[in-house]
Structure formats: C-alpha cells, structure tokens
Structure 1
Amino acid sequence: MPSTDSYDPEVLIRDLDENATENHVVDFLNSHFRELEDLENLNSTLVELKENEQSQNEKRIQTQAKTSKVLQQALDSFNVTVNELENLQATRMELEDALADHCSIVVSEKPIEDSENETLMKKLVKLQQQVDSLERSKQYLKVLVVADELSTKAKQLIEKSPQKSLVPYTQLAHLARNIKSNSKEAGHAVSHLDTYLQQCVDTLWEDMKNRLTKKFKQTLDAFNWPTPIKVPYPPNTTDKFSAFRKAFTELLLLQRPADVEEVSKPLESKNSKEDNVLLPPLLPMQIMVEPLIVRFRYHFDSKRPTNRIDKPEWYFSHVITTIREHSPFLTGAVQAIVDDAGFEKYHAKNEFIRCLLVAVTRKLNNSVPTLLNSPQIFSHTVFETLQFDQTLRELHMYTPPGQDEWGGCVEVFTGKKEWFKAWLKVEKTFAEARYNEIMHSEDVWEMVDEEFPDDEYKPTKSAAKLINLLELVTSRYKLLPLFHNRIRFLIAIQAELLVTYSKRIDSAVDSFGNLSYSIVRAVPNVAATDITGVEGLKRLCRWLSSAGFVSRTIKEWGEDSFFLELWHEVTVRAARNTGNTGNTGNIGAAAHNTGASPLPSPTSSISSTEQGQVTSSVNVDGAITVDEGTVFDDPAELFDNICERIQSLIVKNVSREFFNGLKAYVKKNNWSRSDIYNNDFTRQQIPKLNNQSKDTTSQSTIELSPELYTPLSDLAHSLTFLSNNLPDRIFKHIYKDVSKELEDYLWDRILMKKHFSEMGGCQFEVDMEKGLFTIGKRWIRKPENYFRRLKDACILLTLPANHSKIESKSDDKSQQRTLSQVISMLSDDELEPIAIPKMLENFGVYHLTPKEAIDVIERRVDS
C-alpha cells in the first residue's frame, strides 16, 4: 500500500509555511524598496530589523528553555512507555503459547453468528479495521481543517490584496487535486472528500468573484455606466480611471481555467499553442455588459412598443449603435488594461461584442417559434440577421476572441436542420410564387423598354424579371458563411427556376415548330399569321432574346468571385471524396430531360450528380487541381441549346417564306430561250455584270425578273426585322445560315433542273447580282460571299459559246474565255485532276468542285 505521506496534512502545511515565508520576504522588499530613492532608508531599515532580530532571539532562548523542559518530560514519558512495551512483549509471548494451545480448537469450530461466541482472531481483525477507520477519519478531519483555514485566509486577503488571496486559493486547489489523485492510487475512496474540496474551491472562487465584482461595479457607477464614455476624457476622471483600472485588473486575476491542474497558469499560456480555439469570456467585460443586456431585454423582450416581431432591424440597429458609442472607450482605455494584464489575445471591442450578442441570440431563439408561423416575417428576420452579421464583420471587423472566423447570429437559423429547412422552404415558396406571377402576366414576352448595346440580347420582361428574382435570391443567401448552406439555396431555388424557365421556352418552341411544319394546317384557335412571316419571327425572336439574355447573364455570374468560390469548393470536395480524375459526364441534358437540377449536390459527401458536374484531378503529390468552369455552365448550356433550336427555326421560317414566294420563279421555263420578256438578245450586246464597272449610273438592258419582286421584298422585310431585334453577331450568323438554305434551294430547284441559254444565264446572273445578293448589302459588306457557289455558277452560265462575237474592251486573254474552252478542259482525259481547279480559277471559278462545274456546264443548251 502506498505511503499516505503525500497527502499528510502536516507535510502539506509545512510546505505551505515555507512558501508563505518566501512570499513574505518578497512582499517586504517590494513594499519597502519600490524605487531607487528608497535605498536611502536602508540603514534605518537594517537597524529596525536587527532590533527585531534581537527581540526574536530572546524569545527563541525562552522558547528553547521551555522546549527542553517539555522534551525532558516527553523523554520520561517515553521511558515509561518502553517499560510498558517490554511488559506487553512478555505478555504477548504468553498469549502466543496460549493461542497455540487453542489453535486446533479455533480451526475446528463452526461459524457462530452470535457475537459473544466470536473467536479471538475475528475480534482482532475487527479491532484492526476500526483502528484503520479511525486513522482515516483523523486524516479526513485534518484535510477539512486545512481546507477551511485556506478558504478563510483567502477570504480575508481578497479585500486587502487580491493578488495575495490567490496564494491560499491556489494551495486549496492543489490540495483538492492531490487528495483526488492519491485517493485513487491508494485503492480506496475517501467518501465525498474530493467532491467536497472541489466544491470548496468553486465556492471560494465565486465568493472572491462576487467581492471583486462589487468593487468593480462601484467604479462603473462612478462613470455613470452604461452611459458612453466619450473621448477625450474629462480631467477630473483621473482617479476614477485609476480605480477602474485596478478593479478591472483584479477581476482578471480570477480569469483562470476551470481545470485545477492548470489553475496556476495564465489563460493566454493555456492557449498559446492552440490556434482557432474560442477563449472564455473575460469576467469584467461580462459585468460591463450586464446593464446593457438588461436595457436590451427591457426594450425588446418585454411588452414595450419597441418589442415587435416584424421589426428585427430595431434591435439590430440598437446593438450596432451601442457598439459604435462605446468603441472609443473599449479600443482605448480598456484595451490597454487588457494588454497590460497579459491577455494580448483578447480584443476588448470584440469581447464586448461577444458578450452583447448573448442577448441577440437569445432574442432570436425565443422568436423562432413565432416566426415559423409567419413566413414573410421569418424571411425578413433572417435577411436582417445576415445584414447585421455582415455589418459586424465589415464595419467592426468582429471575430470571436481566439477564432479566425465567425458563423454569425444567423447560426440560430442555420445551426438547426429543421429551422434551416423551414427558412429554405419560405424562400423557395416566395421565389416560385413570384416566378408564377411573372409567367402569368400578359406582357410576359414583351420586350423591355430599355436601351441595350447592338451586340447584346434585348431581354423580354419575363427574362429581365427572372434575372431580378434570381439576384434577389442570391442576396438572400450570399452572406451565409457555410458552403453547404449556400449551395442548397443555389440548387433548390435558382437552379430549379432556371430549368423551369428553360422548359417553358422549350415547350413554346416545340409547339411553334409543330404548328409550323405540321401537315394538317387547320389548328383550332391558331391563326396562320401567328406562325408565319414577321409575326412568327417576332415570337421566335422574343424567345431567343429571353434564352440568350439569361444565358449571357448567368455566364457573367459564373465569373463572379462569389460563384467562383462555390465552384472551387464543389470541385475540391468532389476530388477529395471520389478521387475523380475527369469529367464523367454532363448533367445539363439530364437535368433538362428529367427535371434534375444541373448543379452539384449540397452535401459534404459529393453525390453522383456532382461527380458528373465537376472536372477535377488529384496530382501525384496529392494536390487537387480544379479545371476551369462555373456553377452555371450546365444551366447556360440548356439555354444555349434552346438558342440554337430557335435560330434554326428562324432560318427555316425565313427560308420557307422565301421559297413559298419563289414558286412562280421556279416554274419559269424560258431560261433556254434567246428572247426573254419579249427581248431578242441575239442581236444585242450582252453585258457582263461581273466585268462591268462599279459605276452605279451604268444601265443594263436586262432587268430583274418580275417573279422575284415579291419574294425578295418579303425576304428583305424579314431580314430587316431580324436585324432590328437581334444582336449583330446573332443576325449575321442567321443571315449566313439563311444564305446557305437559299443557295442550296436555288441550286437544286433551278440550276440543276433547268436548261440555260447564254441569255438565260445572263438573266439568272442579273437576278442574283441585282436581286438576291443586293438584299444583304445593308448589313453585310460583301453579301455575295455567302453565295459563292451561285456566284461561280453564274460565271459558267454566262460564258459565251465558241461562235459568239464579243464586243468588249477586255484584253485578248479574257476574250478567249469561252464555253467551249471550259468543256474542252473538263473533258481532257490527259489533264491531271489536281490541275482542274487551277484551270477553273483562270475562269474566275473558285468554289465549285470539278463535278459541280460539269453539272453546271451540262445545263447549258449550247454545251
């Protein structure tokens, strides 16, 4: 069994006396020699000490004499005791002999319950147990006496010298710790002693705190606290500040950790090796905030008119005002006291805010049950809370002492899953209601009355309002500090609204396409003008502008720092959780078809959807690299696909209208005649448009075919409308596609179906040069470059036959370009195939293949 000396009260008291002596010497020197000038009193002090020493020596001599007498008496008593022990030894020997005689009897006896018949062995064991119990009780009582003495001593010193009162307090804490550890090592429990001692420590600490708190409150009352203390301080407040500083510092002496093992360590030492650990609140700051909290509760927790559930901004504004008014005093005088006391990790203003926020979070927690029944007020309260948190972060640079980040008061709502879901549901319901209101308005597809650059989409009212709604939703969750909360808003509200809007446009486009190209035209309640001509283009352009505007806007959002941070977090989490080394698929189409959100999962464990969304990789050294992208890539792709569909419909619509008007022109059968429109060109000069001067005053004897007037007019009208309602780049892209459709149609329906004389070729060339090509000159510098095949075909169709007489100022080389030469070249079997395109270029034909050139030549009646 281990020795009990380690928790012997006499040993502990001896150690405490040595410590007390050392402390007394230090206190004496500090009290008599505070400054260098005090050394002048050294001689007088030495004389005084020597006199004191002489007096003590006399007392010591007297004490020694008394002690010698007492020791002699003790020695005599000892000798008597030794004699008694010798007699007892002889008696013990006799008892051993008697015990040996009765040993067999003791062993053979059966247990008897009656105490009078107990054997001697049992009686001795019982007596030994009683002796041990009495010894433990004696030690127990000694510990209680020591604990009471230390507690009393600390209480006596707390008023005069709080610093000295910590000595017995610390000793009591060590005593409690030693008793607790030694009782466990001894293998038995000292009944409730360790618990009682810890209660003594706690009670003593509370008593010391209460006494110092009373003194501190008196200094605050001298300042008329909580009235803000303005800077500069009045000159008559010097004594008040000194008393305040002393009381504040004394309270900081009690700023000790709860663990008694570290009771002697300053708080800053405890956390010196720990980062981002929330520090406990400072006692004096808690006391300073108490009257402010009382005032807060008086105004906002009672039945006062200021306590309105629908006006959370009132108490937020009150707190901000309170912080602003007290900031000069906190950052100046109070911060200096905190730093001098060795609590450099504390920022007085932040500590003040933290203590004040206790009232705010209590108010919010108490308000939630009522807010859950008032969705609009609930949403407003959360929004105001986010604004309040942002003000504390940005204006007052607030972070809790010891931590790098602050979750904000909004954690009241986001910290509990049920409350966060309720808030998310409120915001989603509001957003959906607003969206339905937008889409059910009569002017849903009307263009907005605002000016936009020519190279950008001009949105419809529904698209503009949708973007405004999405921006409002962003403002609701943008200030949330945690990623998983922000991403849930993005997915549950914004992504769903984008998908819903894209489906609405897609559905309208599908209906338009079905009506436009249905074999059965008789559709009830649908006029033909609604899907044809400019009216049909108007509907398509509005859908295109809506989709294009939304796509461009969310792409710009994706490059915003806020959404880039979301994307980075999504990709990093995906790489960490799945080890994804590449893009496993695009979920945009899946979301479009199945209704799934084209955005990553908000959970910390990345879902399969998120795996399909992100593109990230893990390097050999474990570093995660994030590929370029944004959270809106897939939603933007949905709208881009819709834009492509609508552009395709516009091209088909414009082309179809032109083709319908071109029926008479296609039915013409006089291309092979030499007299067209009652003009005999065999006796006239045939002008060459491709060689003529650019002088606009030159006149040609060949006029535009009258069958082209109407279709060209309709085409010009459609293109003009498109150019006025679409961005320049989109219009040029559509014009290019329309040109390709028209070129293919004219190639297949006229060039490859009709036979042309030289005059017929010239007429076709005039129709193209003066008609079709001229339409686009308003927007395209060289529109003929979009009809290169037709342009080359016109050259071949207008080549003179071998017997034609040409009256021209052209050189001899150009006079030799005849139809017979082209035919001879194309039919020359000895000519290398690679040389044919070069030969065609000599005739001005650059974009036709040899086969296409042969097909055109074969349409000449004189070939």
Structure 2
Amino acid sequence: MEEEAKRMVRVSKRNLRLWRRKWLGWRRFVFMQEMHMLAIKTLKTTEGILASITKAHPQWKQLVSAVDHRVDRALAILRPQAIAEHRALLTSLGWPPPLSAFTSSNSDASTVNQVPNPLLSMQTDLKLRYSENFFALCNLQELQRKRKVRQLEGHDREVALRQPLWVIEELVNPLSLASQRHFSKWIDKPEFIFTLVYKITRDFVDSMDELLQPLVDEAMLLGYSCREEWISAMVTSLTTYMAKEIFPSYISQLDEESATGTQSSARISWLHLIDLMIAFDKRIKSLVENSGVLLSFDDDDIMQKISSLAIFCDRPDWLDLWAEIELDDALDKLKLDIQNENYWVKKVEGAVLSSYTDDYKSPLISNSFLRHLASVIDRCRSLPRVSLRSKFLRSVGLPIIRNFFDSILIRCQEAEGLTALTDDDAVLKVTISVNAAHYFESVIKEWSEDVFFLEMGMGEDDEAGMKSNANIYEALPESSRRVIFDDEIKKLEEFRTEWVEKISLVILRGFDALSRDYMKNKKQWQKDEEGWTVSKALVEALNYLQSKTSVVEVGLNGRDFVGVWRSLAAGIDRLLYNGILMSNVKFHRSGVDRFGNDLDVLFGVFGSWCLRPEGFFPKTSEGQKLLKLDKNEAEECKVGGKKWLKENGLRHLSVTEAEKILKNRVFTS
C-alpha cells in the first residue's frame, strides 16, 4: 500500500509538472501573441501616418525614408519571429501529416487513401491559438503589402499586390519537403509524383475554404482566395522540384542519346512527362472549376499559377527542346504516311476535322497532317502564356504545315516533269494534291477564327486591350486580324491557283493545237458544209476538251473545278475571238450560221456546269450577235456607236472592235 501511494504521488507530481509546462507555454504564447499584435498595431498606425504625410507633404521624402528605414528594421525582426511561432504551432498540431497513406510497400502511388487533416481535428484551445497566430501573420502581410503599394507609387505595383499568402506557404513548404522523400524514388515514374501532388492538393483544399478563408477575410487581406493560393503553392512546389531534379535528369539522358547517336527511350520519356504535366494541369483546372470559384482562365497570370507547364516560363531553352522533340516525333510518323500510297488514293470520309460540308475529295494524307497539327495545337493550349504558345506553335505547327506543302508540291512537280500533264494519270495526281491543299487550307482557316490564334498574331499592346473586350475580333481593323497561319494559308491558296491554272493551260494548249486548222481555214465561213451540224475541223478539239474536262471533274473538288472550267472558257474565248473574229475573216450568211452552230456545241460542253455558258465567252458571243445583224441593223450599229452597243447589251466590245467585225460581214442580195 505504501509503494502504491508513493507511485501515485510521483504520477501526480509529473502530471502537475506537465500541466504547469503547458500552462507556462500557453502563457508564453499568449504573451508573445499579444506583443506581436501590439507591434503590428503600432506599425500599422505608423504606416497610416507615413501614407498621409506622403500625400500631404511629398517634399518630406527624406523624413519618410528615415522612418521607413526604422520600420524595416523592426519588420526584419518581427516577421521571422512571427513565422517561427507559426511553424512551431504547426509542428505541435502534427503538420505536415504523415504521407505513408499515400504510398504502399511497392511505391505505387496510384492507389492511395485519404490523408488525415490536422487542421480539421484541432481541439478548441489549439484552434484558438492557431487562429490568433494565423490572424497575426495575415495582418503582418497586409501591413507589408500596404507599405509596398505606397513605396512603389508610380511603378508596377502588381509585384506588391500579388505576393503569395504567407500562411499558405508555411503549410505547403513542410508538406513539400516531406513529399520529396517519396519523389526521389519516382524519378523514372513521374506519374506517381503527379498522382501524389494532386491527391494532397485535392484532399486538403476544402479545409482552406472552410477554416482559413474566414480568417483571411477577417484580417482584411484583400484579393486572396485560400483555395487558389493552396493550389498555386502546391503546383509551384511541384514545378520547383521538377526544375531541380526531373528535367535535368531527362536532359542528361537526351544528351547521352545524342552523344552515342543511338535511339533510346529518352525522347519517349520526355513526351510522356509532358503528357503527364498536361493531364495534371487539366485535373488541377477542373479542381478549381468544380469549387465554384469564378476564375478567368484566359488570364495568363492565373494560368501560370496553377500550371505545371509554367516551368517553361523561366526556361525557354527547355521549351525549344520540347518543340524539337515534338516536331521530330510528328515528322517521323508523317514520313511513313507520306510514303504510303494508300494515303494519297483513299479519300477523307466526311468533314472529320472541320464543320464544312463541302466534298473536297481530299486524300487521307491531309487528314493525317491535320490530326498531328491538331494534337500540337491541343498541347500548345496548355501552356500558360500567349508568348509560349506562340513560340511553340511556330516551332512545331508551322514546320508541319510546311512539310505538308512540300509533300504535295513535290508530287505535282513529279507529275509535271514526267508528262508535262498531258497524261490523264498525271493530271489526276495533281488534282489529288490540289484537293488535299484545299481541304487543309479550309480547316486551318476555320481554326484560325478562334481567338486563341488571333492572340498569337497580335502585338503585346493589342493583347492587353483584347482581354477587356470579348468582341475584339469584330472591333479590330482588317489589317490587324492576322493569325499565326496567315502566311501558310496564303501559300496554299497560291499553290491551288497555280496548279489549277496549269491544268487549265494544258487543256487549253491541247485544244489550241487540235483546233489550229479550224482557226486557219478562212474560206470555211464563206460556204456551207453539208451534212455537218458542227465543223469537221473542230470535232476532234471539242472531243478532247470534253474528255479532259471530264477527267478533271472526276478528280478535282467542286470549288477548284469551277476555276478550271472558267479559266478554260476565258482562254477559248480569247482564242476564238482573236483567231477568227479579229483575223479579217469574211463571213457570209452560211458562215455565220455555221459559226453559230459551232458555238452552240461548244457552249453545250460548258452547259453542264452553268446555266448560261455563253456568258463566260463574252467577246465571242457578242461578236456572233453582231454577225447575225442584218444590213440595216449593222448600219444602225455603226451610226449609234457606243450608245447602240450599250442599249443592245453588248458591253464587252469597243466601238472599234464592233466596226471591225461588221466590216468583215458580207451581205449578199
């Protein structure tokens, strides 16, 4: 009994000492907290006086500077003390929480459990201590912010206004250090790193709203969202680790691959890492969106805070390396498609990557290039700054378009070099390339209507104005509506125009060669050709014209085929007008009828593609109308001149030309 009594006395004394130690610790904390709050209150009052003096007496700069110097010395002592107190309090709360729940024995971070949150399990007294300490630190930061705003008057004050929230940094820093012990085991398995960071961010983010945001609001720390600051700080800690450990490791692997000249998995690993970063950023963005917090994701500053790809903002050389790897990977895959003849023969089924319903008869190769380009654009969208997106797209997207252009150009040149496009197969080969160019051009034109691309074509001064105007595209002058693909679109348009013109020219030359005897035979217009509704010398040329245009019509898309037959019509109009009507040929009545029959057959060839084909042969058809005039009408035309021509709908012939045609008309009694 005596031993038991002694033991109970010892226990009671020990409990008393522990209680007294806690009580003294509490008293010390309360005392220090009161001292900190008193110091902060005094400094706030001082800052208010300095602000009023600065406005009322700007000439007292030396006095204000001297006081600022003393306040800075006080803050240099106060802030470390306040942060040290805050860190000690966090440690007593059990922060950071153990991360063992995030990792299993096989280091597989893909299966994790919920991590206990010490902030939500605080007892009443600890919660009060934490709240007071949190409030003091927020007040101190707000004081610092106000001082910076005053001191930077007339300069870029955004630096002062957008400093990270100290209390959130103090939560993230120890958590980040604890996480890095796991990260070091996963350098070759970065997916585990992203999974761990995301789950920590997600599991603790609600407590930022529930527990900490009211304290920030009470401290009147304006413009801060604890949720946003928490997410931003976690992403920043991840990018910092990646910049120090992961990227240097991957770059050393790439250097080894380059030195040995062998293909290894280094480039694949790099692209896989980028895929993980993009997927992580999308999940983080979704985490912010699902919270009900309204953020403008068009704001580059906000995007940079919550994007792991912000690592490229400080390392543009890494962005160049990524662009190089991305481009090489795309071109390697496209090279196989270019060499596969099936990709040039088979057609795209429907508008896969475009809302246009036109049938461009495009080969699969154009879709292959567009898919790779769309993939590059999609990855580019994840970059947090317009300048980075523009640089990446110019480094990867534009070379892909140029590679496409070179591919179709080479095929056209090969076809032209073999047969000068006189062979149907060569013509069809060119039509395939023209179809591919037109479809490709239409798709990137449609994409270019997105503001995403418009931003890249604007200068920095325009970008600022653009963010404040949702309808900026309509408000901009035409000259300012340049987009990143403009030069490539222009090259594709010129390519189509050039090769459509070449197809037309080849057919026109063939028609000219076969109709040469028809043009030279001047006596045929002075006699009848019995048994023929069309001149025999023109039959072969018309058959050639119809045959060739049919081949082109089958192979070429509808829009470009319009250009072919219209160009042909204009060329034949010039041939007939200059070769017959302007060549001093004498037309008798029978010759006029014969010429009219020939034109009817010619117009019939073009009648399949338009309602009034004679409208596309303006000079020839108007010359024929003059030849049909009787003697009296011809005299009226000569007397009436320009007025008569206009009144009778002859608008493409000058008075001189009309007189020459009528002069060649022979009237017999």
TM > 0.5 between the two?
Answer: yes
Counterpart contact for 1:571–1:626, Cα < 8 Å: no
Match of 2:317 among 414, 418, 433: 418
Q: Where in structure 2 are the equivalents of 1:590-629 lying within 5 Å?
A: 627-629=480-482
Correspondence for 2:274: 382
In structure 1, how many angstroms separate the alpha carbons of the residues matched to 2:463 and 2:228? 33
Counterpart contact for 2:205–2:230, Cα < 8 Å: no
In structure 1, how many angstroms separate the alpha carbons of the residues matched to 2:198 and 2:96? 25
Counterpart contact for 1:662–1:707, Cα < 8 Å: yes
What is the CA distance between 1:774 and its match in structure 2?
A: 0.9
What is the CA distance between 1:271 and its match in structure 2?
A: 2.0
Counterpart contact for 2:603–2:613, Cα < 8 Å: yes
Residues 1:356 and 2:271 aligned together: no
In structure 1, how many angstroms separate the alpha carbons of the residues matched to 2:624 and 2:478? 57
Counterpart contact for 1:670–1:676, Cα < 8 Å: no
What letter corresponds to residue 184 of structure 2 in structure 1?
A: D
Match of 1:212 among 72, 89, 99: 89
What letter corresponds to residue 435 of structure 2 in structure 1?
A: S
In structure 2, how many angstroms separate the alpha carbons of the residues matched to 1:357 and 1:254? 26
What is the CA distance between 1:430 and its match in structure 2?
A: 2.4
What letter corresponds to residue 164 of structure 1 in structure 2?
A: F
In structure 1, how many angstroms separate the alpha carbons of the residues matched to 2:37 and 2:205? 36
Structure number with the higher helix fraction is: 2
What is the CA distance between 1:563 and its match in structure 2?
A: 0.8
What is the CA distance between 1:199 and its match in structure 2?
A: 11
Residues 1:473 and 2:376 aligned together: yes
Are residues 250 and 774 of structure 1, via their aligned partners in 2, closer, same or farther at CA, if it must alter by over 3 Å? same
Match of 2:654 among 849, 857, 863: 849
What is the CA distance between 1:510 and its match in structure 2?
A: 5.5
What is the CA distance between 1:732 and its match in structure 2?
A: 2.7
What is the CA distance between 1:341 and its match in structure 2?
A: 5.8
Instruction: Provide, for residues 40-85 of structure 1, a one-character-per-residue CA deviation record: whole Å limited to 9, x for no partner.
Output: xxxxxxxxxxxxxxxxxxxxxxxxxxxxxxxxxxxxxxxxxxxxxx
What letter corresponds to residue 347 of structure 1 in structure 2?
A: S
Are residues 315 and 629 of structure 1, via their aligned partners in 2, closer, same or farther at CA, if it must alter by over 3 Å? same
Residues 1:449 and 2:341 aligned together: no
In structure 2, how many angstroms separate the alpha carbons of the residues matched to 1:858 and 1:767? 22
Are residues 308 and 706 of structure 1, via their aligned partners in 2, closer, same or farther at CA, if it must alter by over 3 Å? farther
Instruction: Provide, for residues 292-314 of structure 1, a one-character-per-residue CA deviation record: whole Å limited to 9, x for no partner.
Output: 863x4454422xxxx262x5344
Q: Where in structure 2 are the equivalents of 1:84-103 lying within 5 Å?
A: none
Counterpart contact for 2:213–2:226, Cα < 8 Å: yes
Match of 1:763 among 594, 607, 627: 594
* More displaced 10-residue stretch of structure 1: 276-285 or 780-789: 276-285
What is the CA distance between 1:562 and its match in structure 2?
A: 0.5
Q: Percent identity?
A: 18
Are residues 244 and 323 of structure 1, via their aligned partners in 2, closer, same or farther at CA, if it must alter by over 3 Å? farther
What's the TM-score once normalised by structure 2's chain length?
Answer: 0.70
Correspondence for 1:164: 31
What letter corresponds to residue 593 of structure 2 in structure 1?
A: C
- Greater RCO, CA 8 A, separation 6+: 2
What is the CA distance between 1:765 and its match in structure 2?
A: 1.1
What is the CA distance between 1:353 and its match in structure 2?
A: 2.8
Counterpart contact for 1:797–1:857, Cα < 8 Å: yes
In structure 2, how many angstroms separate the alpha carbons of the residues matched to 1:542 and 1:480? 36
Residues 1:395 and 2:287 aligned together: yes
What is the CA distance between 1:676 and its match in structure 2?
A: 1.8
Residues 1:647 and 2:526 aligned together: no
Counterpart contact for 1:739–1:786, Cα < 8 Å: yes
Residues 1:484 and 2:363 aligned together: no
* More displaced 10-residue stretch of structure 1: 383-392 or 335-344: 335-344
Q: Where in structure 2 are the equivalents of 1:692-703 lying within 5 Å?
A: 703=533
Are residues 776 and 564 of structure 1, via their aligned partners in 2, closer, same or farther at CA, if it must alter by over 3 Å? same
Give ranges in structure 2 of 5+ residues lacking alignment.
Answer: 1-20, 43-72, 103-112, 150-156, 254-265, 466-475
Correspondence for 2:18: none
What is the CA distance between 1:711 and its match in structure 2?
A: 2.8
* More displaced 10-residue stretch of structure 1: 339-348 or 363-372: 339-348
In structure 2, how many angstroms separate the alpha carbons of the residues matched to 1:780 and 1:325? 68
Correspondence for 2:439: 549
Instruction: Provide, for residues 260-313 of structure 1, a one-character-per-residue CA deviation record: whole Å limited to 9, x for no partner.
Output: xxxxx532233255655344554587458746863x4454422xxxx262x534
Correspondence for 2:184: 301
Are residues 243 and 790 of structure 1, via their aligned partners in 2, closer, same or farther at CA, if it must alter by over 3 Å? same
Match of 2:621 among 764, 778, 791: 791
Counterpart contact for 2:206–2:227, Cα < 8 Å: no
In structure 2, how many angstroms separate the alpha carbons of the residues matched to 1:349 and 1:485? 26
Q: Where in structure 2 are the equivalents of 1:36-115 lying within 5 Å?
A: none
Correspondence for 2:326: 427
Instruction: Provide, for residues 307-333 of structure 1, a one-character-per-residue CA deviation record: whole Å limited to 9, x for no partner.
Output: 262x53443233333333333333224
Correspondence for 2:137: 255
* Structure having the higher Rg: 1
In structure 2, how many angstroms separate the alpha carbons of the residues matched to 1:461 and 1:743? 38
Correspondence for 2:485: 632
Are residues 783 and 488 of structure 1, via their aligned partners in 2, closer, same or farther at CA, if it must alter by over 3 Å? same
Residues 1:327 and 2:213 aligned together: no
Residues 1:406 and 2:308 aligned together: no
In structure 1, how many angstroms separate the alpha carbons of the residues matched to 2:201 and 2:409? 54
What is the CA distance between 1:714 and its match in structure 2?
A: 2.9
What letter corresponds to residue 143 of structure 2 in structure 1?
A: S
Instruction: Provide, for residues 350-394 of structure 1, a one-character-per-residue CA deviation record: whole Å limited to 9, x for no partner.
Output: 343345336523441311122122222213313432342343235
Are residues 172 and 229 of structure 1, via their aligned partners in 2, closer, same or farther at CA, if it must alter by over 3 Å? closer
Counterpart contact for 1:252–1:341, Cα < 8 Å: no
Residues 1:821 and 2:629 aligned together: no
What letter corresponds to residue 246 of structure 2 in structure 1?
A: S
In structure 2, how many angstroms separate the alpha carbons of the residues matched to 1:794 and 1:172? 104
What is the CA distance between 1:480 and its match in structure 2?
A: 1.4
Correspondence for 2:140: 266
In structure 2, how many angstroms separate the alpha carbons of the residues matched to 1:797 and 1:342? 94
Are residues 626 and 380 of structure 1, via their aligned partners in 2, closer, same or farther at CA, if it must alter by over 3 Å? farther
Match of 1:368 among 220, 230, 247: 247
In structure 2, how many angstroms separate the alpha carbons of the residues matched to 1:197 and 1:793? 100
What is the CA distance between 1:434 and its match in structure 2?
A: 3.7
Are residues 378 and 756 of structure 1, via their aligned partners in 2, closer, same or farther at CA, if it must alter by over 3 Å? same
Counterpart contact for 1:300–1:315, Cα < 8 Å: yes
In structure 2, how many angstroms separate the alpha carbons of the residues matched to 1:838 and 1:220? 93
Counterpart contact for 1:671–1:755, Cα < 8 Å: no
Root mean square deviation, CA, Å: 4.4
Are residues 848 and 420 of structure 1, via their aligned partners in 2, closer, same or farther at CA, if it must alter by over 3 Å? closer
Correspondence for 1:705: 535
What is the CA distance between 1:415 and its match in structure 2?
A: 1.2
What is the CA distance between 1:252 and its match in structure 2?
A: 1.8
Partner secondary structure for residue 671 of structure 1: helix
